[in-house]
Structure formats: structure tokens, C-alpha cells
Amino acid sequence: MRNSILLINLASFVIIMTGLYFAKDIVIPFLLAVFLAVLISPIITYMQKLKIPRAISLIIVLLCFFGLFFIIGNVVAKNMTNFLTNLPDLQSKFMSFYSDLILKFSSFTDYISFNESLFSYINPNNIFLATSGALKWSSTLISKTFIVLLLFVFMIIETNIFKQKVIYFSNLNSQNKIMVDRFISDLKRYLAIKTISSLATGVLVWIVLIYLNVPYAPIWGMVAFLLNYIPTIGSIIASIPAILIALLLNGYINALWVSIFYLVINISIGNFIEPKFLGDKLGLSTLVVILSLIFWGFVLGIGGMFLAVPLTMSLKIAMDSNKKTKFISILLSNKD
């Protein structure tokens, strides 16, 4: 009997993941809208507690959100256009830098063998192709922003209706009500803290890079904000393009200072401030983070990699809310 249930659950899981894989172009905008709605809804609830009518609260929050989105999006889009325009020149400079580096090492080892072995691991063109590819994917995502925002607006408007439905089904079983309340509360807390820490990281990176005269600072600030949702490796990946640009255009000393500031920002926020507010309960082990990146990246593509940790964290919180599945939550956590 147990084996039959296990097989049914496994088959259901495979079917669901297959469906997500083929419907990822629809699923990703929907998930982004859901996470945005979860983030914004507490602000509207707080404004209602201040005796501001719900309709006015909705209008104020949506106007502020769209205004901020338009201003930041406009600045980042202009910088992205400039970056893609200047990409061939940056590739040329990187090739020159790479050749000079090879010549310096040629006095210690055989030039040809060293050059060939290094090229087998690092192709300079691939670095910029990967960066431009990621930025072009971001542009494609931005082009779908209208769908995300439309879904987001309707979700925010119908928050009360959804709450009433959840309360109705939860009241049928008191244990279910406790489980649902814990899940929603923990998910809101995680997304709020993670978004604030990511926003702080992005803004600090933006300010520091402007101070150090590193070109395309708004892009690298946005990249730092987005990749900060990926613990451990996200902040490392986010720093590489900015350090490389600083090295090519401003020299070794400038690149060193950029590296130091990135290190200080990421250690301060990622290792001290964020864990203090998240606590062990809302943490994921490093292995789980890497596996979730691979899994959700395969199922949902690049968008899945950005959503990997929020999705896995949602699963962990859901598992933690039920006594029967709490052991899965413990396996996913970073607790000893």
C-alpha cells in the first residue's frame, strides 16, 4: 500500500514538473506576479489599519510602485542599450588584455601550451556573450512585464476575496488553518526580508560603482539586486561583470577597490544582517541552494534560476507547516 502511494505521488510530481516545463513562458510571469502580490499586500493591509480606505490604499501603492518601476527601468534600459552598443569594443579590449596576460606568463611556461590549455577552460568571448545573453534575456522579460503587472494588479485587487476563500477552507479543519496561517506568514516574512536585503545590496553597489567611476553602474546594481535572491553564489556571479569592466576601463587599482567593496557589502548583508532577521528557520543549506538552481533552471529556464530559492523556500515553509512533512523541511534547512 505504501509503495503504491509513493509511486502515485512520484508520478504526480513528474507530471506536474513536465507541465511546468512546457508551460514555463506562462508560469514564470504568473509566479513573478504572485511574489510581487505577496510582497505588496502587507503594505495595503498596514495602510488600512491607519484608517485609509482600501480603494485609496490600492491607488497610492500602485502609483508608487509603477512610478518607481518606470524611473529605475528607464535608467537601467538606457545603460543596457549603451552596454550592448559598446560590447564589440569591450570584447576587443578584453582580448588585448588577455593577450598581454598570456605574454607575461610566457616567461614562466611554454606560451603555446599555456595559451591552448587556458583557452580550453576560459574563452574570453564567452564571458561577454554570456553577459550580453543574460541582458538580452532580461530585455525579453521586461517586454513581458505588461503581463506580469496586469496579473499583479488583479491579484492585489482580489486579495480580500482570496483571503476569504482561504479562511473558508481553513475553517473546515482547524489544523489546516494553523498550517495555512504559518505558511503565509513565513513566506511574507522571507520575501520581505530577502527583498529589503537585495534592495540594500543593489543600491549600495550602485552608489559605490558611481563613486569609483565604473561605467554602467545602474546595470550592475540591478544585477546585484536580482542575483542576491540566489544565496552563496549569486553575489559572487553579480560581482564578476563589474570587476571585469573596472579592470578593462579603469585599471588594476580601480578593479581591486571594486572587489573590496563588493566583498564588504556582501559579507555585511549576506553573513550578518540577513541571517539575523531570517533566523535558522528560514535558511536553506548551500547544497540545497545549488541543487534547486540546477533543478528549477532545467524546468523553467533562466527565469527558474532567479526564482529557484523563493520557490524552494516556499516548498520548505509548506513542508514545515505540516507535522507529516516536517522532516523534509529539516532536510532542506541549514540547521545542524
Read off the C-alpha cell for 232: 552563496
Average pLDDT, the chain: 78
C-beta neighbour count of 153 within 10 angstroms: 17
Report pLDDT digits (tens) over 31-67.
888 888 888 888 888 888 888 888 888 889 889 888 8
- Please report, for the chain, the start and end positions of each structural domain, with discontinuous segments joined by +: 1-102+124-172
Closest of 206, 223, 300 to residue 258, by C-alpha: 206
Enter the pTM of the model: 0.78
- Please say if the pLDDT value at position 169 is more than 60: yes
- DSSP for 274-327 reads HHHHHTGGG---HHHHHHHHHHHHHHHTHHHHHHHHHHHHHHHHHHHTSGGGHH
Residue-level pLDDT at 17: 84
Are 311 and 31 in contact by the 8 Å Cβ rule? The answer is: yes
User: Which three cell numbers mark 310?
Assistant: 523563493
Q: Which amino acid is at 277?
A: F
pLDDT digits (tens, 9 = 90+) for 250-295: 888 999 999 999 999 988 888 788 777 776 555 677 788 788 888 8
pLDDT one-digit tens code per residue, 107-142:
555 544 545 555 544 555 555 555 555 555 555 555
pLDDT in tens, 190-211: 888 888 999 999 999 999 999 9
